[in-house]
C-alpha cells in the first residue's frame, strides 16, 4: 500500500491513504499506547494539521501492536498533575467531537479509560470481535468524567452507569448489539484490509463536502456542544475539587502505582 507517512518522534504516526482522503493516526508508545499528556498534544496537533483539508473524508485512530490503548497515564492522575492533564484531555475530547469530518476508532485488544472516552467521541467504532472496552477508574478511587457525560447517549444510560460504577469490562460484540460498535472484524482477519474495504463501500465514493456538512449537522442536532460544555464542565470541577482533594482519590492512584491494595477510608 502506497502512502505518504510522517512520524512524530515516538508517539503518533500520521499516514494519508486512499489518494489523501483517509487519514490514519496511529498511537505508538509501547507498552500499551498509554495516553500521556505529550501524546495527547501530538494527537491534537496531527488533527489540527489536517482539519482544513477539503478532500479529507475520514480520520481513523488506531493503536500499534494490536492494542488500542490502556488509557491515560496513571502517573499523570496524581494530584499535582491531574488538573492540567484533565484540561488537555478534555480539549482533545472536544476537538475529536467537533472534528469537521467523521472520525473512526479502529479497536484491537484493549481500549480502556481515557482511550474508551476518546472512542465515545468518534462517529464510528470498528472493532475486532475479541476487543475489550472499559473504564476502570472507579477501582482507583476516581471516576471517568467523559463517560459520565457521553455514556448515556452513546451506550445507553443503564450500560453507562454499570461501566462507570463497577469498572467492569465490556466486549465488542455486546457493544455492537447496543449499536455503539459499527462493524466487527473476525479474529485473525487482516484488519487494515477490512478497514479499507469498509471505507470504500461506505464513505470513499461520497462527497467530502457533503460529509463535512452532515458531520456538523449530526453533532449539532445531538446537542454535543451542550454535552461537552455546560454538562462536562461541572463534572470536571467535581473531579478536581472533590475527588482529587479526597483521601480515597489519592490513595487509589498511589496504591496502583505501588502495586498494592488500596486502604480506603471512605472519604
What DSSP assignment string belongs to 14-73?
EEEETTTTEEEEEE--TTTT-B-HHHHHHHHHHHHHHTT-TT--EEEEEEGGG--B--B-
pLDDT confidence bin for 157, thresholds 50/70/90: very high
- Note whether residue 164 is domain-resident: yes
Tens-digit pLDDT profile for residues 185-202:
997 789 999 999 999 999
- Note whether residue 104 is domain-resident: yes
- Note whether residue 267 is domain-resident: no
- Note whether residue 79 is domain-resident: yes
pLDDT for the residue 187: 76
- Note whether residue 261 is domain-resident: no
Position of cell 473512526? 104
**Number of structural domains the chain divides into:** 1
Closest CA to 142 of 172, 178, 117, 170: 117
Domain span at residue 211? 4-188+206-217
- Note whether residue 170 is domain-resident: yes
pLDDT for the residue 12: 96
Tens-digit pLDDT profile for residues 52-68:
999 999 999 999 999 99
- The answer, yes or no, to whether residue 3 has pLDDT greater than 60, is no
Closest CA to 172 of 122, 114, 119, 130: 130
- The answer, yes or no, to whether residue 5 has pLDDT greater than 90, is no
**CATH number reported for the structural domain that contains residue 143 in this entry:** 3.90.226.10
Residues in the chain: 267
Cα torsion angle, 27, 28, 31, 35, sign: negative
pLDDT confidence bin for 10, thresholds 50/70/90: low
Q: What is the percent of the chain where pLDDT is above 70?
A: 96
Tens-digit pLDDT profile for residues 49-108:
999 999 999 999 999 999 999 999 999 999 999 999 999 999 999 999 999 999 999 999
- Note whether residue 91 is domain-resident: yes
pLDDT for the residue 115: 98
Amino acid at each position: 500500500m502506497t502512502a505518504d507517512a510522517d512520524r512524530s518522534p515516538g508517539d503518533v504516526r500520521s499516514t494519508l491513504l486512499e489518494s489523501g482522503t483517509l487519514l490514519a493516526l496511529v498511537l505508538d508508545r509501547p507498552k500499551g499506547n498509554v495516553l500521556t499528556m505529550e501524546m495527547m498534544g501530538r494527537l491534537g496537533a496531527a488533527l489540527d494539521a489536517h482539519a482544513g483539508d477539503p478532500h479529507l473524508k475520514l480520520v481513523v485512530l488506531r493503536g500499534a501492536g494490536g492494542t488500542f490503548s490502556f488509557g491515560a497515564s496513571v502517573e499523570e492522575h496524581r494530584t499535582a498533575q491531574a488538573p492540567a492533564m484533565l484540561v488537555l484531555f478534555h480539549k482533545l475530547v472536544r476537538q475529536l467531537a467537533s472534528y469537521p469530518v467523521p472520525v473512526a476508532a479502529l479497536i484491537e485488544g484493549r481500549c480502556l479509560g481515557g482511550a474508551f472516552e476518546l472512542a465515545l467521541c468518534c462517529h464510528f467504532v470498528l472493532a475486532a470481535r475479541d476487543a475489550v472496552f472499559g473504564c476502570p477508574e472507579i477501582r482507583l478511587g476516581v471516576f471517568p468524567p467523559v463517560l459520565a457525560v457521553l455514556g448515556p447517549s452513546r451506550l445507553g444510560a443503564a450500560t453507562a452507569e454499570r461501566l462507570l460504577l463497577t469498572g467492569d469490562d465490556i466486549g465488542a460484540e455486546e457493544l455492537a448489539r447496543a449499536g455503539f460498535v459499527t462493524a466487527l472484524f473476525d479474529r485473525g482477519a487482516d484488519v487494515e484490509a477490512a478497514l479499507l474495504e469498509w471505507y470504500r463501500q461506505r464513505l470513499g465514493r461520497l462527497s467530502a463536502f457533503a460529509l463535512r456538512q452532515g458531520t456538523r449537522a449530526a453533532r449539532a442536532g445531538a446537542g454535543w456542544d451542550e454535552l461537552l460544555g455546560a454538562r462536562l464542565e461541572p463534572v470536571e470541577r467535581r473531579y478536581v475539587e472533590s475527588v482529587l482533594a479526597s483521601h480515597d482519590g489519592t490513595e487509589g492512584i498511589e496504591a496502583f502505582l505501588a502495586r498494592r491494595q488500596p486502604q480506603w477510608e471512605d472519604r
